[in-house]
Amino acid sequence: MILKTKAKRRIASWEGPALLLMVWGFLVVTLRANCQSALRPPDQVQPPALLLGAAWYPEQWPESRWETDLELMQKAHIHVVRVGEFAWTALEPEEGKYQLDWLERAVDLAGKHGIYVILGTPSAAPPVWMEAKYPDIMVTDQSGRRYSGATRNHYNWCSPRYRQFVREIDERLAQRFGNNPDVIGWQIDNEYSRMSFDAATQAEFHAWLQNRYGSIGRLNQAWTTAYDNQTYSAFDEIPLADGAQDNNPGLWLDSKRFISDSLRDYQKVQIDAIRKYAAPRQKITTNMMGWFDLYDHYTVAHDLDIVAWDNPQVSGIFDPVTNGAANDLMRGLKGADFWVMETTAGPRGGGNASVMLPKGAMRAVMWHDIGHGANLISYWQWRDALNGGEQNHGAIVDVDGRTDPIYAEIAQVGEEFEKAGPALRGSDVKARVAILHSYPSRWTINWQKMNPAYNAIQALLSYYIPLHRLGYTIDIVPPGRDLSKYKLVIAPALNVLTQAEAANLERFVKQGGNLVLGQRSAMKDEYDARWPQLQPGPLEELLGARVQQYTALANPIGVKGLWGDSKALLFAEPLTEQAADVKVLMKYDAPHSWLDGQPAAVTRKVGGGSITYVGAWLDAPAMQRAVQWMTSESGLHPDLFAAPNGVEVYRRQAKDHEIFIVENDGDQDQKFDLPAAMQNVLTGQTVHALDLGVYGVAVLEEPEVKDAPRTGVSRSNP
């Protein structure tokens, strides 16, 4: 009433209908916001700590259906919907003519049902009218063919015209929804996945190179273009590379860096447009795709408020270890909690695998994601589409408007999130062990594998899996990150190592950390050129040893030593000690070979820390023993308590308590004792033991954070 009285006094002193309409609009927006807040239950003044969501496309269905959908969502304890990401034509049916009222009605109706909203910017799918009138906004492939046809992710993110269209629609949306109490976040675009090679983008690449190197002479020197007579006389002679083997390695690596930087610039256009009007409480993200490596995710994540990724489960089998590593990769992009913006139990549209997870498994997957640091899990999608490229994709509600069988499982998860949310609020995942991951290293190895079976992700998992089996929480972080909180850092395939990253690793060791380098490590510098020192390049002096030679293996060969008898697979590097205090851990056992009798793994103490180089890709049993030695030498103890094979344990820590998420991903029921009495927040009971059926889940709260060592998790060999 006070607001209305003051406004009336001002109106009485103003003249002109425009001012009157402006004030009236202000009153309507303010009163509507107040009414929306009043509709929300008292315990939802702020969003729940754990959010269950779904992707909802109201523009695809009659508005008369919306209320029914939202009622079903409310009954399923769905807390948030993602809307608008593919709705550009519905929002701007003609150039410069916007229709946002329908979206506001959808957002308001969701708020009426206690459901929050994440707005997707529509830039992943430009309208057909825009494609027809401005074909230069479309992506051009490496052959010079401009894309045509109706789908998504076919726009050119380097196009100035397209960036202007995107800026305008985003600003309109942010003006309308930037202070809406029901909108808690923004998803920019959708699954960045296609780079353009058009002439304008090539010109941007030339400018990027000139800015990076300053002169063409400096570029030629960095890339060693004298080899094979590849010397350039001008920047505009250099093509944006597509990964072909006949290009220069430096060109390939810088092409990938340009792709990452140009994508970050495009994303920044949208972030700035939204932030111009949106409240700081609204988080901005985009949905990434796990191990996908078109671009450097650390670069693109830098400007986001929170990381989100899409984690579909469509093969019919859930692998908690490899899926957990992908979750840890996403958490490591910003070193903080994250969102899973899309997950599904299958089937999937298109030509991909389409096998449904077993009953109860989707619930376990969602709790697994929470255990790795997710605070929002959103199902894709709410309702099956009648047509389109993903019309065969599974959903929560089918084309007839009736719920699919997964609905009950989703509802159970939503109710459990509400029960466990208070205990998990403010908690996060903490680790004392880190595995280093580098996009430049992955790109470089994938370009020059040297062994067709060699895979940089599998190299990472060869350390991740035994660490997981031993009961450790693991961070996956880049080599330039502050490593001071870790006791053990493992770099399985750090092929590209800059001088600054080398200094960071050396500092970590000299301050008492334990560093382990794997095969292919520290071979290249930031320009993808060989370091003049042999591996490990700038860390050779710190290691007190060097790699004599690198070689691929056509067949496994023997390795023996401290970690037992083993086989070296795929790749092997013999080492030479240069310092007297270097200790040989393993030697090759390969008669009539260059490798026979040569050191396969060495270590050296440096003050209170150590550096170790493992030159052989060891078989799984030896890797288990090797990682056990690494953790023991680092003074580490498992942070997860023991559980039977098939049972997964995850830990999240708050200021004054710990939460353990325990789930049975095996194929039989499991009964086992706990190390101490804990409260199962899903049942409210204090328990000393667990009895978990297949895909059973318990969320256990321990009242105090424990520093005492745990016994670790019992796991079978891979």
411: tokens are 């509802």
Q: How confident is the model at residue 716 (pLDDT cuts 50, 70, 90)?
A: very low
Check residue 33 and report its DSSP letter: H
Please report the pLDDT score of residue 46 as a whole number: 84
Contact 306, 283 (CB under 8 A): yes
Handedness of CA 539, 541, 544, 549 (dihedral sign): positive
pLDDT at 38: 39
What is the average per-residue pLDDT within 91-99?
Answer: 98
C-beta contacts of 142-148 below 8 A and 24+ residues apart: 142/197, 142/242, 144/197, 146/198
pLDDT digits (tens, 9 = 90+) for 592-645: 999 999 999 999 999 999 999 999 999 999 999 999 999 999 999 999 999 999
For the chain, give the percent of residues with pLDDT over 70.
91
Please state, in angstroms and as integers, the Cα–Cα distance from residue 263 to each residue in 188, 256, 268, following that order: 12, 11, 8
Q: How many CA atoms lie within 13 A of 216 on its CB side?
A: 11
What are the CA-CA distances from residue 50 to residues 160, 376, 390, 421 (Å)?
39, 6, 28, 5
Mean pLDDT, to the nearest integer, of 485-513?
98
At the second CATH level, the architecture of 433-633 is 3-Layer(aba) Sandwich (3.40)
The rounded distance, in Å, linking the Cα atoms of 521 and 539 is 10
- Quote the pLDDT of residue 7: 34
Q: What is the mean pLDDT of residues 322-347?
A: 96
- Kindly report the CATH class assigned to 46-198+260-424: alpha beta
Where is 636: in which H helix or E strand? none
CA distances from 122 to 89, 160, 194, 709 (A): 9, 17, 16, 50
Strands (E), 442-565: 474-477, 488-491, 514-517, 545-547, 551-552, 557-561
Q: Burial of 593 by CB count in 10 Å (0-12 exposed, 13-18 middle, 19+ buried)?
A: middle
**CATH number 2.60.40.1180 given to 647-702:** yes
Under 8 Å between Cβ of 581 and 544: yes
Model confidence over 347-396: pLDDT tens digits? Answer: 877 666 689 999 999 999 999 999 999 999 999 999 999 888 788 888 99
238-275: per-residue pLDDT in tens? Answer: 999 987 666 799 999 999 999 999 999 999 999 999 99
The per-residue pLDDT for 346 is 82
**pLDDT of amino acid 22:** 39
Q: Which long-range contacts link 227-236 to residues 24+ away (Cβ below 8 Å)?
A: 235/206, 235/207, 235/209, 235/210, 236/203, 236/206
Mean pLDDT confidence for 313-328: 95
The SS3 call for residue 498 is coil
The band of 704, judged by pLDDT with boundaries at 50, 70 and 90, is confident
At residue 536, what is the residue type? P
Backbone angles phi, psi at 389, to 5 degrees: -65, -20
Q: 280: which residues sit within 8 A by CB, 6+ positions away? A: none
Q: Which residues pair with residue 306 across a beta bridge?
A: none
Query: Is the pLDDT reported for residue 552 higher than 60?
Result: yes
Question: Residue 692: its pLDDT value, please?
Answer: 98
Q: Are the beta carbons of 184 and 80 closer than 8 angstroms?
A: yes
628 burial via Cβ count (<10 Å: 0-12, 13-18, 19+): middle
For residue 35, is pLDDT > 70?
no
Packing angle of the helix pair 406-424, 361-371 (nearest 10 deg):
20
Taking residue 372's Cβ as centre, other Cβ atoms within 10 Å add up to 25
**What is the model's pLDDT at position 404?**
95
Question: Quick one: which of 267, 283, 608, 297 has its CA closest to 477?
Answer: 297
Give the distance from CA 78 to its chain's centroid.
Answer: 23
Inter-residue contact 698 to 690 (CB < 8 Å): yes
Does the structure show a pLDDT above 80 at 322?
Answer: yes
Q: For the residues 123-144, what does the mean pLDDT come to?
A: 94
How many residues would you count in the chain? 718
Q: Is pLDDT above 80 for 148?
A: no
Q: Which residue has the tokens 């229709």?
A: 99
Query: What's CA 631's distance to the chain center, in Å?
Result: 26
Label residues 544-553 b or e (16+ Cβ within 10 Å = b): bbbbbebeeb
Chain mean pLDDT for the chain: 91
Output 710 or 30, whichever has higher pLDDT: 710
Q: Per-domain residue ranges for the chain? A: 1-39, 46-198+260-424, 214-258, 433-633, 647-702
Task: Over range 183-194, report the average pLDDT.
Answer: 97
What's the pLDDT score for residue 626? 98
Q: Is residue 11 predicted with pLDDT exceeding 90? A: no
From residue 211, alpha-carbon distances to 163, 199, 406, 688 in Å are 22, 19, 53, 63
Q: Where are the alpha helices (DSSP H) in 2-148?
A: 2-13, 17-39, 63-75, 88-91, 101-112, 128-133
CA 614 to chain centre: 28
Cα 334 to Cα 60, 304, 341, distances in angstroms: 35, 9, 16
Q: Locate 81 and state its tokens.
A: 């919907």
Kindly tell me if the per-residue pLDDT of 717 is higher than 80.
no
